A and B are shown apart, each in its own frame.
Chain A
Amino acid sequence: MTETRPVAGRAVVDVSLGRTALALVAGWLVPGAGHAILGRVRRGALFFLLIMGSFGIGLAEEGRLALYSPREGFLTGLQLVANLGVGPADLFARMSVYGEAAYALPDPSDASHRPRIEKFRERQRSAVSAYGTAYLWSAGLMNLLLLMDVWDIAKRRKD
């Protein structure tokens, strides 16, 4: 249910739970879309450009697309969260880099282990890979921050 009430001399519209959920999901799928759904279209468009720009530069600079490894579960888990924050764009990037939706290192006895680890190391050998990784992780983390911002806007904690 949507309710309008005056706050500080102007009408502020309460956002329904369904619309909040839609904005959060859309914001994860397409960076900035959550803001657009809540009426902040220009801000959302700018966030989209910043996040996808950072993601694109990260890919072009051969940033690492993290693979979860049980041997370093905590760190690789955090790296994976940073990558996943950007939404389905990460999936498409993995399909393009690894040839499949790879999120973890396979068991060493698995035939796909060697090619995947080789691909991973090949990207790391690039002189600018560290920068690329920073761009990729920043893109994901910025989008996660945006989702919190969407929540705050929906709950009227923020304009």
Chain B
Amino acid sequence: MRGHFANLVVYSGIIATFFSVLTRRDRREQLRFGGLVWLSMVGGVLLLAYLMLPFPR
């Protein structure tokens, strides 16, 4: 798994699943919370990357 995006998706998936199962008991709550965490992580990184577009190295 060498791609940056693949790593982002998988890492966010692991973290989102872990915290949803750790902090929520109801299956629907877990799905909702996990989905929100996953979307926040992936979406947040993509947004940050977009904002950094005008500032290349």
Contacts and interface: CB of A to CB of B under 8 A. Distances in A.
Q: Do A and B come from one complex?
A: yes
Interface of A: 43, 46-47, 50-51, 53-54, 57, 60-61, 127-128, 131, 134-135, 138, 142, 145-146, 149, 159
A57 B25 CA distance: 27
A149 B11 contact: no
Contact of A145 (B1, B2, B17, B22): B22
B18 A142 contact: yes
The SS class assigned to the A binding surface is helix
B11 A43 contact: no
A159 B15 contact: no
Given A50-B18, A127-B2, A159 B25 contact: yes
Interface of B: 1-2, 4, 7, 10-11, 14-15, 17-18, 21-22, 25
Contacts of B14: 50, 53-54, 135, 138
Contacts of B21: 43, 46-47
Contact of A47 (B7, B15, B18): B18
Given A47-B18, A128-B2, A135 B25 contact: no
A135 B11 contact: yes
A51 B14 CA distance: 8
Contacts of B18: 47, 50-51, 142
Contacts of B1: 57, 60-61, 128
Which 4 A-B residue pairs are closest in the complex by CB-CB distance? A131-B7, A50-B18, A54-B14, A142-B18
A51 B18 CA distance: 9
A87 B42 CA distance: 29
B22 A131 contact: no
A127 B1 CA distance: 11
Nearest to B10: A57
Contacts of B15: 138
Contacts of B4: 131
28 contacts: A46-B21, A47-B21, A50-B17, A50-B18, A51-B18, A53-B14, A57-B1, A60-B1, A61-B1, A61-B7, A127-B2, A128-B1, A128-B2, A128-B7, A131-B4, A131-B7, A131-B11, A134-B11, A135-B11, A135-B14, A138-B11, A138-B14, A138-B15, A142-B18, A145-B22, A146-B22, A149-B22, A159-B25
